[in-house]
Structure 1
Amino acid sequence: MNTKRILIIGGPGTGKSTLITALEEKGHVCFHEISREVTAAAQKKGIEQLFLTQPLLFSELLLKGRIQQFEDAENLNTAYAFYDRGIPDIAAYMDYSGDEYPAIFTDVCKDYVYDKTFILAPWREIYQQDNERYESFKQAQIIQQYLKTTYEKHNYDLIDVPFGTVEERVDFILQTLNNEE
């Protein structure tokens, strides 16, 4: 079976992880965001925000993990695999931070291409900061623009997910996928 890789992107606090969890509860294969794991591991070593203090190392760890997630879907026997963020997110965040980075971060985007990309807009009513999410809502809106620019540069057609309950958003994604088959 040729598993389609379905990407869910958006700035911080847009509800991506909640949607991934809801899709997983419905029996879909889902790959969770790994930046929280990388951040938490660094915090255990005394580095409060690895992305801020060593952005290139943080991004290299993300790239390695996201490539692994992409490859893990190769032998699945399911129609869809859902991802909480994708490989192009890394370049978008590096562009946002203004840090220079090697070409590998954009070159891999040509080799690892997702089949569909759904984008969630910043939503003030659900936005929360926490230990791993340091960005303000205003920063989340700016990051959103970097994500759009990066994905469009890599020829992705972004499908806007409307605001609504978790169930409404999940239904929108699944109905959109079913309508295209």
Structure 2
Amino acid sequence: MRRAVVTGAPGSGKSTLLAEVARRGFATGEEVARAILQAPGGMEMRAERATDFALAMLEAQRASWDRAGEGDAPILFDRGFADIVGFLRLEGLPVPPAIDAACRDYRYEGPVFHAPPWREIYRQDEERIQSWEEAVESDAAVLGAWRDYGYSPITLPFADPAARAGFVIERL
């Protein structure tokens, strides 16, 4: 089983890339934060109780991890455990022991792909509330968290979704 991840800046083309990879027959995991934000009370939890939001992401990420373990094909996740640490650091909050333990215990065997900030495609929406500057700060926090947990992210090229998907698939 090879679990791989796409991480990086908000609005940098991760979801579009994952859709293209899925269209080519590869398994993908959803972005758990966006699913939580879309649920009733999700935006309020993120704004008012950021640590609870992080713990909700942890539980959803664990469930996604467990579902992925049911097969033997590679799976490409939309973000991972270290992204939660990056979020907490950006918010200036401590990392709960359960989240730190998950980052140490649930190890991705496949590459961690980094989608860098991409100004030309960045757009805010109902869940992506960060300004461009905040998206860049978020990227730095998340990338630092992945490195702190021993990963060496591979930067994705600024390219159309088909070319990016080809880049990823060659490395899976």
Settle same-fold status: TM greater than 0.5: yes
1:4-42 deviation digits (Å, cap 9, x = unpaired): 00100001101111111111111111111021121111x
Q: Verify: 1:22 aligned to 2:20, yes or no.
A: yes
Aligned to 2:124, the other structure's residue is in SS state coil
Question: Which letter maps to 2:61?
Answer: R
1:143-164 deviation digits (Å, cap 9, x = unpaired): 1111111111100011010100
Aligned to 2:159, the other structure's residue is in SS state coil
Q: Which runs of 5+ in 2 are unaligned?
A: none
- Residue equivalent to 1:104: 98
Q: What is the rounded CA distance, in whole Å, between the counterparts of 2:43 and 2:77 in structure 1?
A: 26
- Residue equivalent to 2:160: 165
Q: What is the rounded CA distance, in whole Å, between the counterparts of 1:135 and 1:167 in structure 2?
A: 27
Aligned to 1:126, the other structure's residue is in SS state coil
1:101 shift after superposition: 3.6
How does the TM-score come out when normalised to structure 2?
0.94
Aligned to 1:138, the other structure's residue is in SS state helix
- Following superposition, which runs of at least 4 residues in structure 1 exceed 3 angstroms of deviation? none
- Residue equivalent to 2:143: 148
- Residue equivalent to 2:85: 91
How does the TM-score come out when normalised to structure 1?
0.90
Q: What is the rounded CA distance, in whole Å, between the counterparts of 2:35 and 2:25 in structure 1?
A: 23
Computing the radius of gyration over CA atoms, which structure comes out larger, 1 or 2? 1
- Residue equivalent to 2:7: 9
Q: Verify: 1:121 aligned to 2:119, yes or no.
A: no
Structural RMSD (CA): 1.2
Aligned to 1:174, the other structure's residue is in SS state helix
Identity %: 27
Considering Cα pairs closer than 8 Å and 6+ residues apart, tell me whether 1 or 2 has the greater RCO. Answer: 2
Number of residue pairs matched by the alignment: 171
Aligned to 2:77, the other structure's residue is in SS state strand
1:48 shift after superposition: 4.0
1:47-77 deviation digits (Å, cap 9, x = unpaired): 6442121111111111001011112121203
Q: What is the rounded CA distance, in whole Å, between the counterparts of 1:161 and 1:102 in structure 2?
A: 30
1:176 shift after superposition: 2.4
